[in-house]
Amino acid sequence: MKIYPLGAANPETIRMIRALQRGAPDLEFPGLLDNDPAKHGTDFFGLSVLGGCELIPHLAGLDVGFVSLVTGSTRARYESGLAITATGGALVNFIHPTVDLTLTHWGVGNYVQEAVVVQAEVRVGDNSSIHMGALVGHETSIGDSVFIAHAVSISGRCHIGDGTFVGTNATILPRLRIGRWAVIGAGSVVIRDVPDYAVVAGNPARVIRLEEPVYGDGSVR
């Protein structure tokens, strides 16, 4: 299978590719995509940046997949995932091989880094990303186009709505519901439900403001 990651920004991508290929030598990464024209034709740690999403209709086919590596904002992640599917690309998961996926349930287009712990009966939608050292407790559900930063701790039986951004080292206590397109500030301790479009921060986390709704759900297919 050939996989084309979208986003030439983080060298960790290359380490993940090498780790995946050690276990599956027939997995090919012919190059990277990036929507920044300044990067087109350049070399990114040994992989060529071929172009942007305009290439997807020409690259798509059987045994060809695409995944967004955009994580700076969930709105940008949603838009990049949607750009892939809208141009005919099939989303595939890009998950570090050390992550135990036993008794977990996954959509497509997810990007999961090294040292992530996802416990039993966790459900993850499409086009979400979980960064290094995060813990997702048992029976938690994570929606579409979510970003969970490194060292986050999400307790069991939580619900994380579409488009939510969970900042570095945040903690979410058990059985809480985090609304769509919420932002959880870095280091926050969330002890109560968070409404849609809310920005929360602090210990305990409190609502700082409500963002103007731009998108409803985070579905990219």
Active site residues: 138
Largest CA distance in the chain: 50
Residue closest to 146 by CA, chosen among 122, 124, 171, 120: 124
How many angstroms separate the first and last alpha carbons of the chain?
21
Name residue, tokens 């966790």: 122
Distance CA 127, CA 71 (A): 10
Contact indicator for 96, 166 with CB cutoff of 8 Å: no
Query: How many residues are present in the chain?
Result: 221
78 within 8 A of 107, measured Cβ to Cβ = no
Please give the Cα distance from 43 to 64 (Å, whole number): 21
Rounded to whole angstroms, how far apart are CA atoms 171 and 179? Answer: 16
Q: Which residues contact 61 (CB under 8 A, 6 or more apart)?
A: none
The CA-based angle 74-164-10, given to 5 degrees, is 40
